Structure 1
Amino acid sequence: MKKILQLIFLLLTYSSFAQNSEEIQSIDNFYIPVYKDFLAKQSIVDKDYANLIDFKWLQTQITSSESKSVEVNITDFDTFLLIKQLKDLNNKTLFQIEHNPTLERYIRVFLRSRKETLAHLMERSRYYFPLFEKYLDKYDLPLEIKYLAVIESALKPQSKSKTGARGLWQFTYATGKHFGLEINSMVDERYDPVKSTEAACKFLNKLYKMFGNWDLALAAYNSGPGNVTKAIRRAGGNKNYWEIRKYLPLETRGYLPAFYATFYLFEYNIFHNIKPKKTGLSYFETDTVKIKKQVSINKIASVLGLNNEFLKILNPQYKTGVIPYKSVDPYALVLPKNKISDFIRFEEKIYSDKPARQTSKIIKVSPYNSYKVKKGDNLSRIASKFNIRLEQLKMWNGLETNYLIEGQHLVISDKNNFHKLSLNKNKEREIKTYIVQKGGSLFIISRKFPDVSVNQLKEWNNLHSENNLEPGIKLIIKKS
């Protein structure tokens, strides 16, 4: 039992969904990406239960004080009531929703372990679902497909999978390019909520035409049409998802039950005491403007008084934080509606300076503008120590992540004579060295030299605390 629990924990930590593109195959003059199975068959006693917990959005770690789950005794939730509720759902959708033990297990596990996560997902859906419904309606697709994005990305437009899939709908590079999404060094429309949603609608529409069955179309969206076709063949031509399920890749066997469980819980959230608060914008509270010159999102946020990260979440397709310009079909910027008039009013100021690419902001490291990373350092602490913004620190050093290595030198000033200036302030002082003795402290050492403070000792020797003070270390002392 202990080994099974450990294996389940590992699955929770490491599994993910993605469309893993291998080749393009011609089907009825339409090219659809065919994907490889990328999860190896696992030796586990209860594969259904492994599938049950093996979903990306279940792994989403969300912390919020605004939406707490309400603990309910789900053993009082009667199976016969669930059968009736599922039947009611089935009567108002194009999907074929029928009760079965697998689906009931998914619903009960989600209720037991992920009610708070569901509440947060419902908060996010307030922005994204109206957008999804707009394009699903445009392509005459079932509106319930909106729940697919919950399974794919937890409604996080900047989601990235280990296999290379990106965005709300988790498109791979090949699939995204095939469906017309622009992907280059500055723009990746797989992250664009509008463009990727329309691409997903086109893809799902073709899959439905291919299989004539929404269950199989969704399975093909996850594992590729090739895997679904092979499963049908192995099942003797049977096209019932629940009958061919055992022939599908492991992750796809749980994909549809998770979709239906999510569909059910969003529809019956009040019944199950899942009550998200209405926070943030809705899609209808935003609008777009066309960009007339290359401009940085930071500049726009600064001029309009918006949070920089918030504006990037609304426009996640601009990878470098810079919106490039093109004369034909210019790029769009999403803004809260109440900021559109401000954008127009301050347009000249917004476009006044053409932003340099981030790479051009990288500053060459030198002994006079850098800091040596010490054990326990992090970027935020270093930025605070030198009174600079975290964004500047990352930009000057060309950092894309927060990962640091002890001993590396980071640029902490855009002035090459930063340390020289610091030394000039103390040019009247004579520089000496002092070897730390056993039991020594910065306070004791400072008392040995007139007009020397603990803070000066820290500054002269790049010390954060006395934890780095060990016998034998040489300290710089600047005597008057």
Structure 2
Amino acid sequence: MFLKNTTIALLLSVSLSSFAQQFAQNKDVNTQEIPLSYLDSLKTTFVKDNMALCVDSLWMNELTNLDLYNEITTDIENVDLDKKVDYDLPTSLLKSRLKAMNAKSPFRIEYNESLENVIKSYLKYRKKSFGRLMGLSQYYFPIFEEAFAKENVPLEIKYLAIVESALNPKAVSRMGATGLWQFMYQTGKQYDLNIDSYVDERSDPLKATAAAAQYMSRMYKIFGDWELVLASYNSGPGNVSKAIRRSGGKQNYWNIRKKLPKETQGYVPAFLATMYLYEYHKEHGIVPDEAVMQHFATDTVMVRKQLSFKQISDLLDVPVSQLQVLNPSYKLNVIPHYNDKNHYLRLPNAKIAVFVSNEEKIYAYADYLQDLKEHPYNRSRLSTNSSSSSKSGKRVVERNTKYYKIRRGDNLGSIAKKYHVTITNLKKWNNLRSNKIASGKRLKIITTSISYQKTEPKEVNNQLVAKNNDILAVSEMVNTNYTVQKGDVLGTIASKFNTSVTDLKKWNNLKNNTIAQGSRLIVAQKQTAVTDTIQTKATLKENTAANQLTYSVKRGDSLYSIARKYPGVSITDLKKWNNIKGESIKPGMKLKIRS
């Protein structure tokens, strides 16, 4: 027994020693410095909330699914209130249930055969649809109830949104009525709902519901009957008034129903039938779908600069589809910024904290992307310092696709960092639904390079760039040449000299990618400054040192954010002055800044 225990102890000791050595090796490998893209570098500095939010993608899709809207709209338009439906629901039981509903509602809920036919039709053909609607209503009903309570409108009117839009904020009727409450353009404007190229507040759950509550309250003051209020909401108060006159002054919906437009004749019965199914769904075996997000689990933050859903998604790791559901009033997936109006972003509570804690960095990232765009009126920047440079000429964007074979121990994060891309894009390019990857498989990676085609040099006229302190500085083009070796191709040569194939072809007047061994290629064109002899090189060096600053890199800094601190300084300048080859910088680094 002693020998056995000793052997086991020895094996454990050897195993632990081996494990510790392997762990140390792995740790060394994992702590290698890997260049980060600006996006990933920025996100590593974010102050994060530890609360995890699980959003069911199927439920998110349900919120934007138009099937239910189409089904309910068709039902209301084509319902035959006089057609009996064969369904096992005793009339006596239905009467007693409607009576119980009437006792606790301001609506006059009375039994009639037309209502019975609609209820039985829904139970027979739409039970599954109502299970889905009840799942959606867990998100929207709290919004409705709060708005109706403020205007002293019956809370039961929340069921009207099911009849109107099947709880889809993006629903649009054939006539152009839009949103949860199906406002027409003029009615939306009448109730101060903003509609422009970026925003349509008819699709905003909060603002549209507040407008609907105001409309209901106003109509009740006119008709004094909630069923007639519903009828006026569907067909307009003018049609209801006409129906009352044509019916000899009768003011009960069921008495004037035949005088109303056809669609409105099935409107109130559809509303009451919906109310019944919600009240007695358990008795009829209707199981509501579970909504994994409640409205009270979200909050809003005011946006102070224009942001796109794509930018927010990349920074906060929130799916664009979720942003669309939570912010349906933004028509172009962009939150605009106007000087005279505030706009708000709705996010899950866990993400609100991340946004607020990193707001300035988020806006800096948006500015960075904006600066990358090609603007219609670019102005060349003239520099008074020969060492500072700016890109000029035609901007060329090249997309290259390569494939990476997954090795043991790889993960999406390390691969994304290696190739300066995001995890989100890696998953998108390879149709990955999770972060799991298998060794031996190949991943598609798409990289984008930006180059600038230089302006052709002129032999006669040089460009005047500076005249300071009696120094005349004139720019001229200096070429770097390369002799083509055996096996060389344009792609490898371009990579070797940190340029693009497009530039190589332009500088060498190449019409295709064919090059001959032994031929000489221009592989770089550089604009240099030539000064006159008034001031010596030693004096120039002295002036440069006098105008040089030192900046200590702080946590969260990037080359882009540092360049923005100093007017006239570019990322290219910073990299050149400090011999930085990539984009990566570390806190504590000392950077030279020349003014």
TM-score, normalised by the number of residues in structure 1: 0.62
Equivalent-residue separation in structure 2 for 1:226 and 1:333 (angstroms): 38
Q: Does 1:140 align with 2:156?
A: no
Q: For 2:296 and 2:147, locate their aligned partners in 1 and report how far apart those are by CA, in whole Å.
A: 14
2:202 aligned counterpart, secondary structure: coil
Task: Give the deviation of 1:242 after TM superposition.
Answer: 0.4
Q: Deviations over 1:88-141 (max 9, x none)?
A: 000011000011111111110101111111001000000000000000001011
Query: Hey, what does 1:282 align to over in structure 2?
Result: 294
Q: 1:277 to 1:214 in 2, by over 3 A?
A: same
The 8 Å contact of residues 17 and 152 in structure 1, kept in 2 or not, is answered as no
Match of 1:310 in 2: 322
Give the corresponding residue for 2:133: 121
* Residues 1:48 and 2:72 are matched in the alignment: no
- Summarize the Cα distance change of 1:273–1:316 in structure 2 as closer, same or farther, 3 Å threshold: same
What is the alpha-carbon distance in structure 2 between the residues aligned to residue 88 and residue 14 of structure 1? 26
SS of the aligned residue for 2:286 comes to: coil
| Pair 1:209–1:273, CA change in 2 (3 A) | same
CA contact 1:149–1:169 (8 Å) conserved in 2: yes
State the Cα distance separating 1:427 from its structure 2 match: 4.2
Q: CA deviation at 1:76?
A: 3.2
- Matching residue of 2:186: 174
Please give the secondary structure, in 2, of the residue aligned with 1:48. Answer: coil
Matches within 5 A, 1:60-459: 75-352=87-364, 353-354=366-367, 427=513
Tell me the SS of whatever aligns to 1:319.
Answer: coil
Q: CA deviation at 1:328?
A: 4.8
Amino acid at match of 2:258: K
- Residue pair 1:295, 1:324 contacting (<8 A) in 2 also: yes
Aligned residues: 330
Cα 1:265–1:278 change in 2 (3 A) is same
> CA separation of 1:166/1:391 partners in 2, compared to 1, >3 Å: closer, same or farther?
farther
CA–CA separation in structure 2 for the residues paired with 1:230 and 1:245: 11
**Counterpart Cα distance in 1 of 2:245 and 2:332:** 46
> CA shift at 1:326, angstroms?
3.2
Structure 1 residue matching 2:203: 3-state secondary structure: coil
CA offset digits 1:281-331 (Å, max 9, x no partner): 111111111111111122112211111111111001111111112345511
2:35 aligned residue: none
Could you say what secondary structure the match of 1:166 adopts? coil
| Separation of aligned partners in 1, 2:98 and 2:136 | 25
Instruction: Give the Cα–Cα distance (whole angstroms) in 1 for the partners of residues 330 and 75 of structure 2.
Output: 24
Per the alignment, do residues 389 and 201 of structure 1 end up closer, same or farther by CA in structure 2, a change over 3 Å counting?
Answer: farther
Deviation at 1:277, TM superposition (A): 3.2
CA contact (8 A) 2:81 2:115 kept: no
Aligned counterparts, 1:21-40, within 5 A: none
Aligned to 2:331, the other structure's residue is in SS state: coil
Greater Rg, structure 1 or structure 2? 2
Distance 1:271 1:361 in 2: 63
- In 2, distance between residues paired with 1:214 and 1:274? 28
Partner amino acid, structure 2, of 1:85 = R
For the residue of structure 1 that corresponds to 2:201, the secondary structure is coil
Distance in 1 between the 2:163 and 2:87 partners?
A: 25
Mark the runs of 5 or more structure 1 residues left unpaired by the alignment.
1-11, 19-38, 54-73, 363-367, 370-387, 393-412, 430-480
C-alpha contact 1:17 1:251 (8 A) present in aligned 2: no
Change (3 A) 1:15 1:82: closer
1:189-241, CA deviations, whole angstroms, 9 ceiling, x for partnerless residues?
A: 00100000000011111111111100000000000001000000000000010
**Alpha carbons of 1:391 and 1:195: their partners in 2 closer, same or farther (altered >3 Å)?**
farther
Rounded to whole Å, the distance in 2 between the matches of 1:84 and 1:268 is 12
Query: Which residue identity lines up with residue 81 of structure 2 in the other structure?
Result: D
Q: Residue 75 of structure 1: CA displacement?
A: 3.6
Deviation at 1:87, TM superposition (A): 0.5
Q: What residue identity is the alignment partner of 1:303?
A: L
The SS at the match of 1:118 is helix
Inter-CA distance 294–105: structure 2 relative to 1 (3 Å threshold): same
Identity %: 44
Alignment of 1:6-17 (within 5 A): none
One-letter identity of the residue aligned with 1:184? D
User: Gaps spanning 5+ residues in structure 2: where?
Assistant: 1-69, 377-397, 400-424, 430-447, 454-500, 516-595
Letter in 2 for 1:210: I
The secondary structure found in structure 1 opposite 2:301 is strand
**SS of the residue 1:325 aligns to:** coil
> How far 1:348 sits from its partner (Å)?
1.8
Aligned partner of residue 102 in structure 1, secondary structure: helix
Q: 1:244 to 1:318 in 2, by over 3 A?
A: same
The corresponding residue for 1:438 is: none
Q: Distance in 2 between matches of 1:185 and 1:332?
A: 17
Give 1:391 deviation, angstroms: 11
Distance 1:162 1:278 in 2: 31
Q: CA deviation at 1:174?
A: 0.2
